[in-house]
Amino acid sequence: MTVEDYLSKIIQRDGVAHITLIDPASQKPEESVRLAIAAAQGGTDAIMLGGSTDAGGQLLDITAKMIKEKVKLPIILFPGNTSGFTTSADCVLFMSLLNSRDPHYIVGNQVQGAYTLYKVGMESIPMAYLVCEPGGTVGWVGDVKLLPRKKPELAAAYALTGKYFGMRYTYLEAGSGAESALPPEMIATVKHILKENVLIVGGGIRDGKTAAICAKAGADIIVTGTAIEKAGNAKELTAEIVQGAKAGKKA
Ligand code: 1GP
């Protein structure tokens, strides 16, 4: 089964899926493996590997291989540039940062990586990546014209553009470590326009209550990274977020 089918089945069954983002540059590979195991035990549905700076190359490759040995969940690449690719994962989000001012993040890095992807034949999911205020590191690195939180219709116009380009996933991003998650009005407006297309929401989600609000507003997939990386008990926090998201969807 493809990773896309696997996630679709979870979304159909539970209303929402949860992905744990691990930045290979944030800790040693052994610690990334510990986090992945804890997140899996807490009920996350997949592991996503990536980051805006230093998250690629050998460190990414070793981290992906070590996680694969210990965790049965799919490993999805979330590349910040061409160095964020490794054959040791199951799938890559083939993403375009649509609201960047820099063509490298819209199409340039993708052109540089496309032939490698073709040769190795890894599954890829076309995705519109939309970065909203405050944007964090990815907003700065990606030279992003940040989408204002109070203008959900602008985010929706970008999401619709991605959908018309044929992208099946849209990732609405507040930036890793954002002080607060994206407003439910923004998530709801974007999901309303996307309809069956998959909406990922991430950035600043730290607890079950917030995950529930995002899921109820329309997120199909919730991503959490920083909170789980920093948690005293990563398994417990993952379980709280996963259960919160799934309960929020049913509420
Ligand atoms: C970042 O959306 C992800 O790309 C996750 O954000 O680290 O704030 O959970 P956090």
pLDDT number for residue 55: 73
Architecture of domain 3-250: Alpha-Beta Barrel (3.20)
- Quick one: pLDDT band at residue 53, thresholds 50, 70, 90? confident
Pocket test for ligand 1, best of 18, 19, 21 (most atoms within 8 A of CB): 21
Cα 178 to middle of ligand 1, angstroms: 8
pLDDT surpasses 80 at 250: yes
pLDDT surpasses 90 at 57: no
Q: Comparing C-alpha atoms, which of 15, 38, 35, 14 is closest to residue 24?
A: 35
Ligand 1 pocket check for 181: Cβ under 6 Å: no
pLDDT by residue (tens digit) across 166-214?
A: 999 999 999 999 999 999 999 999 999 999 999 999 999 999 999 999 9
Q: Any bridge partners for residue 95, and if so which?
A: 127
pLDDT by residue (tens digit) across 155-164?
A: 999 999 999 9
Ligand 1 pocket check for 227: Cβ under 6 Å: yes
pLDDT number for residue 132: 98
- Helix and strand numbers (H, E) in the chain are 11, 8
Residue type, 189: T
In this structure, how many other beta carbons lie within 10 angstroms of the beta carbon of residue 165?
11
pLDDT number for residue 54: 78
pLDDT number for residue 30: 97
Share of the chain above pLDDT 70, in %: 100
E strands of the chain, at which residues? 17-22, 46-50, 75-78, 91-97, 123-131, 169-173, 198-202, 221-224
Compute the average pLDDT of residues 223-241.
Answer: 97
Ligand 1 pocket check for 176: Cβ under 6 Å: yes
Compute the average pLDDT of residues 244-250.
Answer: 95
Q: Any bridge partners for residue 222, and if so which?
A: 18, 201
Ligand 1 pocket check for 172: Cβ under 6 Å: no
pLDDT number for residue 52: 80
Q: Are 247 and 14 in contact (CB under 8 A)?
A: no
| Residue with CA at minimum distance from ligand 1 atom 4 | 176
pLDDT number for residue 78: 97
Average pLDDT score over the chain: 97
pLDDT number for residue 80: 93
Cα 141 to middle of ligand 1, angstroms: 15
Work out which ligand 1 atom sits closest to the CA atom of 173: 2
Q: Are 86 and 119 in contact (CB under 8 A)?
A: no
Work out which ligand 1 atom sits closest to the CA atom of 206: 9
Residue type, 229: E
pLDDT by residue (tens digit) across 84-99?
A: 999 999 999 999 999 9
pLDDT number for residue 158: 98
Cα 227 to middle of ligand 1, angstroms: 8
The DSSP-derived string for 65-124 is HHHHHH--S-EEEE-SSGGG--TTSSEEEEEEETTBSSHIIIIIHHHHHHHHHHHHT-EE
